[in-house]
Amino acid sequence: MHSSFKPPRQVKIGDAAAFAGTTPRAIRHYHEIGLLPEPERGGDDRRRYGYEDMIRLLWIRKMADAGIALDDIRDAFTTGTDSEDGIANTLERLEETLAEQEAELRRQRTAVRRMRTEGSRMGLLSDFVTDRLKNLPEGSLRQADLDTLLVTERIFGPLGAAVQATRFIVLATHPALREDSDRIDVAEEALDDSVAVDDPRVAQVAVERHTFESALQTVIEESGLDEDDDALFDAWDALHPEPTDDDEADISSGRREAGTMSAFEAIGKMPYDASPAQWRCMELAIELSAQNSPAT
């Protein structure tokens, strides 16, 4: 993606629904039953959805697709989905439902079992992603990590999220890198709307980000995780053979399955509440990486 492209900081309800794979009517219903908090409204008095709103909406859709009732989803958010009691209570009620509808809900049962096994929402991600992360130490993955993978899976599919998981594998197994990552995240968050794009802190944090990403990539290569990424592509290709001539004709004619969108369309509908200084910091970090790449 070109570094000058900036996703919106907030989106309207129609774009939020399209990104999450639902409808504006369903989102309004989530508001009515207290499942999704009412977002702020713009000058035209229309709802505007930001990053945190979209993250919650995506998890709601994942849980609903797994067969969890909306009342149980609301309770899970209230008690903390990733708390031991919250998961146990929610899944106990769901498994009772699945026992009554086993023939029809086989796919949902698989997702529920994965949630119980993983003890977190990681079980709601695709098998391709979950299998990549299942051997990590307990508690080493943060909810923010899962949120990021959720968004990536929605935009770029399971393969894109599985490749991105390499980053979180390294952070989960290298405490020093995780500490550096946290420190730089805090520094970037401090570049809020009160900071000018030409403030010296912007360039300083960009250098720190570039240095960290270089160190992270070095660990990935030294640990052989980059080779695991190559194996992921081979495994994906084996599971998804090249399209036939008819399939290619469908793609070239612009026809897609209902509810799907291109990665570019999806990126434009996922809001990120980043300030101009934060975007400038990202651009500078990308420029530093390009300047120091072997090709350059």
Residue-wise burial string across 268-289, b where 16 or more C-beta atoms lie within 10 A, e elsewhere = bbbbbebbebbbbbbbbbbebe
Q: Which residues pair with 41 in a beta bridge?
A: 47
**What local confidence, expressed as pLDDT, does residue 141 receive?**
87
Q: Does the reported pTM lie above 0.75?
A: no
pLDDT at position 256 is 38
Residue 236 has what pLDDT? 84
Neighbours of 254 (CB within 10 A): 7
- Which one, of 280, 148, 281, lies nearest residue 208 by Cα? 281
Q: What string of pLDDT tens digits covers the 296 residues of the chain? A: 445 567 788 899 999 999 998 999 999 999 999 899 888 887 777 888 999 999 999 999 988 888 888 888 888 777 654 555 555 666 666 666 555 555 555 555 566 665 555 556 777 888 888 888 888 888 888 889 999 999 999 988 899 999 999 999 999 999 999 999 999 999 999 999 999 999 999 999 999 999 999 999 999 999 998 888 888 888 888 887 765 555 444 433 333 343 567 777 777 788 888 999 999 999 999 999 888 766 54
- The confidence score (pLDDT) of residue 255 equals 35
**Tell me, what's the pLDDT at 117?**
55
Q: Which two tokens stand for residue 235?
A: 């495994």
pLDDT of residue 87: 57
DSSP sequence for 2-18: -TT----SSB-HHHHHH
Tens digit of each residue's pLDDT (9 = 90 or more) over 262-296: 777 777 788 888 999 999 999 999 999 888 766 54
pLDDT recorded at residue 85 = 58
Q: What is the reported pLDDT for 4? A: 55
Distance CA 254, CA 249 (A): 9
d(C-alpha 13, C-alpha 28), whole Å? 9
